[in-house]
Chain A
């Protein structure tokens, strides 16, 4: 009884092993990964459920959220595919590595002359010199790159064997190790790391961040103070640089100061702080005393609103002071006032409407809508880009925009202890691919046999990759050998 159970267990294990050792599984998993990955590029990921409900309707929404389509790359089934791929790679590699292992770790490589004689890519020629003379002549001519050279005496002559790149047979396994490292690194990152963001008004300090795509707050064991924020623009209005001057404050003392810009983050205690976007504080926070002048209610303003998420253009009509709901349920928007000449960081932008956008899940931001630059609001990089299409009625409200604008900087704060593992994987992958594709295990054999006071020479060889490569190599060697002989004679 017991023996039977063991053998059936063993049998099951064998079957499972065989299942995971199959390249068909690799191809199936890779195809499934490729095919399902498309979904996430068509359906925007990690947006608010309100936006999804509006875009897909209730029925599709229920199905999609059941299948985690809105965060599909982190869904159980996508992760399962990745695990399957990992197990497949490991089992496949273990299953197959014994073949190259035996070839690579052999003390005395075996060469079989009769095999070389049968190869189609071989060169044959004759020489008037005797095998002994040729031996002395040929010996130094074997390419230096061949690490292993052996001479064997035969009945009527001799044989040169040489080989190189035996170890390159491990190329594919090196690539597989790198893939495992990448997956391992990403696992470490997702378990021990975080990705969050925070916005800090100039002059203020924050020591907690919001975790991306969740409502969770993560507390840092130091504070980040934004001493200053600056944005500069090119002449055409495109942003040139976002610069935040940050100070790290630990136990009440400043410990590190750095200006960060996009592509040049601050790193402290394994935590990286990146410059992302920026925003302007709503006017009320700047000067609460300021009162906005009323406008004629007949002064209709038509707004064009482009959703960053869906790319859809919406048109809304409003008047100054009337709050409107933004499409796709992202928040409220109200135009507060009009200015007939405004400055934006030293740039004259002319007539502008001044609005305040209140997102559903965030603090209000001030929005400038210059009439001359319809694309201006795109720079804010919010989820809705607003512009003025037309306006009626007379505008006669002059406002002094002399007050200083106060910014907040929007920082991305991340920690990923898996990065060193991933980067190691990257390097190994490049090396592995290079070895696999462009290096090969080459074996050559030069056989010299005496035949009627003449020598018959055969140059033959194998290559575990392309047959084209070895053909060139053999041509080169034979040319070299015949050349040597001619020089040796005269």
Chain B
């Protein structure tokens, strides 16, 4: 048993959890939803094990570092944060159905990490610029932000779907939480994500200042994280001051998540300082 095996199993478990959540939603099988929760918890445990094993393995190779140093490791951590935050939301608000819109993202991130040929899954030594304690603080806070925004995006999709079908009383949205609750939950997730994105950008800034002597350099990833920050700042102002809610907030939340995706993946296509 090694970390890559544990992580392959995790991918499979997340896939199964996503399938069960979707089944429970579409075919209205309540027991499938309950089983899905158990499977999702197993997935997170397996994911955690994989991350810890990978950490230990890197020390065995003599190049010990936290498994947050490249795109592969970040995707695994992204899945983990989605899983953990989603399970917390489910535990607190007891809506299994939200899982149908969030666990697929955890599964896709894992599947992309393990299946894409462009992603190197070897444990590599840290290049000089990454040797800093800020690496851990920066990556963890950023990904808590990303994962919260991912879940907010899932909730916004649910909101739009519910609104779309509210007239025809389509059976797909019968068991959805009330739209008021979806709207409120989206807002909660975005506030949580915004706080962590802010801390993520700040820790990145402080790190940049200790590595290169400037806290802001308009590197494409820095700039895109700021663009994302702006989008969510607009959303928060629109809601808190102009009283926007519902559909308009849902669209903004989806737009914000598109910016997150571009910050995460798109920027790798542009030249810059970030290793992923």
Identify 8 new A-B residue pairs, CB closer than 8 A, beyond the known A423-B206, A466-B187.
Answer: A38-B227, A195-B213, A272-B213, A308-B271, A412-B213, A429-B202, A466-B184, A468-B184
* B12 sits at the interface (CB 8 A): no
List, in ascending order, chain A residues with CB within 8 A of B199's CB: 430
List, in ascending order, chain A residues with CB within 8 A of B226's CB: 34, 37
Q: Give the residue of B124, B128, B209, B237 whose beta carbon is less than 8 angstroms from that of A27.
A: B237
A75 CB, nearest partner CB in chain B, Å: 12
Q: Known: A263-B128, A466-B188. Contact between A412 and B237, CB under 8 A? A: no
Output the residue of A27, A42, A309 with the most chain B CB within 10 A.
A27
Say whether A426 contacts B205, CB under 8 Å: yes
- Residues 167-200 of A, flagged 1 when their CB comes within 8 A of B and 0 if not, give 0000010000000000000100000000100000
Q: Which of A110-118, A128-136, A432-440 contacts B (4 or more CB under 8 A)?
A: A432-440
Q: Known: A41-B224, A238-B125, A240-B125. Contact between A23 and B132, CB under 8 A? A: no
* A414 sits at the interface (CB 8 A): yes
B87 CB, nearest partner CB in chain A, Å: 19
A33 to B270 alpha-carbon distance, docked (Å): 20
* B63 sits at the interface (CB 8 A): yes
Say whether A414 contacts B213, CB under 8 Å: yes
* B246 sits at the interface (CB 8 A): no
* B215 sits at the interface (CB 8 A): yes
- What is the chain B residue whose CB lies nearest that of A186? B216
A443 to B152 alpha-carbon distance, docked (Å): 29
Chain A residues 302 to 341 lying within 8 A of chain B, measured CB to CB, are 308-309, 311
Say whether B188 contacts A433, CB under 8 Å: no
Say whether A37 contacts B192, CB under 8 Å: no
* A241 sits at the interface (CB 8 A): yes
Chain A residues 399 to 427 lying within 8 A of chain B, measured CB to CB, are 412-414, 416, 419, 422-423, 426
A360 CB, nearest partner CB in chain B, Å: 19
Say whether B194 contacts A433, CB under 8 Å: yes
List, in ascending order, chain B residues with CB within 8 A of A86's CB: none
List, in ascending order, chain B residues with CB within 8 A of A423's CB: 206
Chain A residues 265 to 281 lying within 8 A of chain B, measured CB to CB, are 265, 272, 274-276
Chain B residues 209 to 232 lying within 8 A of chain A, measured CB to CB, are 209-216, 218, 220, 223-224, 226-227, 230-231
Seen from chain B, the residues whose Cβ lies within 8 Å of a Cβ on chain A are: 63, 124-125, 127-129, 131-132, 184, 187-188, 191-192, 194-195, 198-199, 202, 205-206, 209-216, 218, 220, 223-224, 226-227, 230-231, 233-234, 237-238, 240-242, 267, 270-271
List, in ascending order, chain B residues with CB within 8 A of A7's CB: none
- What is the chain A residue whose CB lies nearest that of B199? A430
A170 CB, nearest partner CB in chain B, Å: 14
Output the residue of B192, B199, B209 with the most chain A CB within 10 A.
B209
Q: Known: A38-B227, A238-B125. Contact between A23 and B213, CB under 8 A? A: no
A44 to B271 alpha-carbon distance, docked (Å): 8
Say whether B211 contacts A437, CB under 8 Å: no
Query: Can you sample 10 A-B contacts with CB below 8 Å?
Result: A23-B237, A27-B238, A34-B226, A195-B213, A238-B125, A274-B212, A430-B199, A433-B194, A438-B191, A466-B187
Say whether A37 contacts B128, CB under 8 Å: no
A229 CB, nearest partner CB in chain B, Å: 13
Main SS class of interface, B:
helix
B200 CB, nearest partner CB in chain A, Å: 11
Say whether B214 contacts A195, CB under 8 Å: yes
A93 CB, nearest partner CB in chain B, Å: 12
Output the residue of B212, B226, B240, B242 with the most chain A CB within 10 A.
B212
A63 to B150 alpha-carbon distance, docked (Å): 39
Q: Known: A45-B218, A434-B195. Contact between A239 and B184, CB under 8 A? A: no
Say whether B213 contacts A37, CB under 8 Å: no
Say whether B230 contacts A41, CB under 8 Å: no
- What is the chain A residue whose CB lies nearest that of B240? A172
Say whether B234 contacts A422, CB under 8 Å: no
A30 to B240 alpha-carbon distance, docked (Å): 16
- What is the chain A residue whose CB lies nearest that of B224? A41
A433 to B124 alpha-carbon distance, docked (Å): 36
Q: Known: A234-B63, A437-B195. Contact between A30 and B209, CB under 8 A? A: no
Say whether B129 contacts A30, CB under 8 Å: no
List, in ascending order, chain A residues with CB within 8 A of B237's CB: 23, 26-27, 30
Pairs A-B, 6 closest by C-beta atoms: A414-B213, A262-B128, A437-B191, A41-B220, A34-B230, A234-B125
Q: Give the residue of B188, B212, B241, B242 whose beta carbon is less than 8 angstroms from that of A276.
A: B212
A430 to B199 alpha-carbon distance, docked (Å): 7
Say whether B198 contacts A433, CB under 8 Å: yes
Say whether B194 contacts A274, CB under 8 Å: no
Q: Give the residue of A41, A263, A276 whose beta carbon is less than 8 angstroms from that of B210.
A: A263
* A73 sits at the interface (CB 8 A): yes
List, in ascending order, chain A residues with CB within 8 A of B211's CB: 262-263, 274
- What is the chain B residue whose CB lies nearest that of A45? B218
- What is the chain A residue whose CB lies nearest that of B215? A422
* A236 sits at the interface (CB 8 A): yes
A266 to B234 alpha-carbon distance, docked (Å): 40
Say whether B128 contacts A41, CB under 8 Å: no
Say whether B124 contacts A40, CB under 8 Å: no
Say whether B210 contacts A311, CB under 8 Å: no
List, in ascending order, chain A residues with CB within 8 A of B223's CB: 37-38, 40-41
Say whether A34 contacts B231, CB under 8 Å: yes
A26 CB, nearest partner CB in chain B, Å: 6
A272 to B211 alpha-carbon distance, docked (Å): 10
Say whether A240 contacts B128, CB under 8 Å: yes
A422 to B202 alpha-carbon distance, docked (Å): 10
A482 CB, nearest partner CB in chain B, Å: 24
A276 to B230 alpha-carbon distance, docked (Å): 31
Q: Known: A423-B206, A437-B191. Contact between A265 and B213, CB under 8 A? A: yes
- What is the chain B residue whose CB lies nearest that of A241? B128
B274 CB, nearest partner CB in chain A, Å: 12
* A138 sits at the interface (CB 8 A): no
A438 to B129 alpha-carbon distance, docked (Å): 35
